[in-house]
Amino acid sequence: MRRNNKVRNVLSPVLASAVVAAVATAAWSSSAHSQRLGDLLGSAKKVAQAATVTDEQMVTYFSQMSDEMDRQNQIAPAKNPYAVRLAKLTAGLPSYDGLDLDIKAYLVNDINAFAMGDGTVRVYSGLMDKFTDDEVRCVIGHEIGHVKLQHGQKRLRRALQQDAALSVAGTASSGARRFTSSELGGLIQNVLSAQHSQAAETASDDYALTFMTNKGYPQQACPAAMDKLAALGGGGGIGLLKTHPDPAQRAKRMRAKIKS
């Protein structure tokens, strides 16, 4: 109950600000004023609705996004060499840090990987072609870091607040909404395909180093993976380079951290 009161206290200034802004337009005609007031209150309402989405609903939204990604990309069958290799290098990793994991390979020739708030982890075959087992493990740890540090969750909540087409009206009491394929495409673009901030990358890199230590994997695989990304950077079209900062600088920083 304390949590709900806190949410209401935070949101009431948002609604109040919308009303004040509408009143300031009183010089307009009454019809224009009414329309403006409705638009502002509607926007404030969407912010309020997105802010009150529960953790369980967020997981459901991530699951919908994961299903959409799986629909768009071919998952390696269990006996496929990529699936066999990934199963071996992630043996003993059904969960980590309280997150149940569903780790699979995409048969996609891109150097990329991602994780979502429902525990989905997908590693692209193009990345597996270039990286050693331990380097793949570091990438997985890094992507789990984005989930555990709430980076994707914050992006999803922001997308729900900002896009009028993604109204979550009624979900607070009646469960998670089902998004259309086109809406899921927009969410995926905002949550998975956008450039990460330097602060988020640094935090996830640190998380990956801790992940490697906790699982008994060599930390040096992390800067080694960044070195490979830096060397491949001239080719263009690499997923991890589109969404992550300069890998050479990240490798330098991680080596310094490992030595410290």
- Enumerate residues 6+ apart whose C-beta is below 8 A from 31: none
Q: Are 57 and 176 in contact (CB under 8 A)?
A: yes
Structure tokens at 202: 């640094």
Phi-psi region of 114 (alpha: psi -120 to 50; beta: other; left: phi over 0): beta
Give the C-alpha separation, 76 to 124, whole Å: 10
Torsion of CA 30, 35, 39, 45, to 10 degrees: 80
Q: Return the SS3 of 216.
A: coil
Reading the chain (260 residues) residue by residue, the pLDDT tens digits are 434 443 334 344 444 444 344 444 434 345 555 555 444 444 444 444 545 678 888 899 999 999 999 999 999 999 999 999 999 999 999 999 999 999 999 999 999 999 999 999 999 999 999 999 999 999 999 999 999 999 999 989 888 887 655 665 444 444 678 888 888 988 888 888 777 788 999 999 999 999 999 999 999 999 999 999 888 874 455 555 555 668 899 999 999 999 98
Q: How far is CA 158 from CA 41, 47, 92, 246, in A?
A: 18, 9, 34, 25
CA dihedral (49, 53, 57, 62) positive or negative? positive
> Cα–chain-centroid distance for residue 77?
25
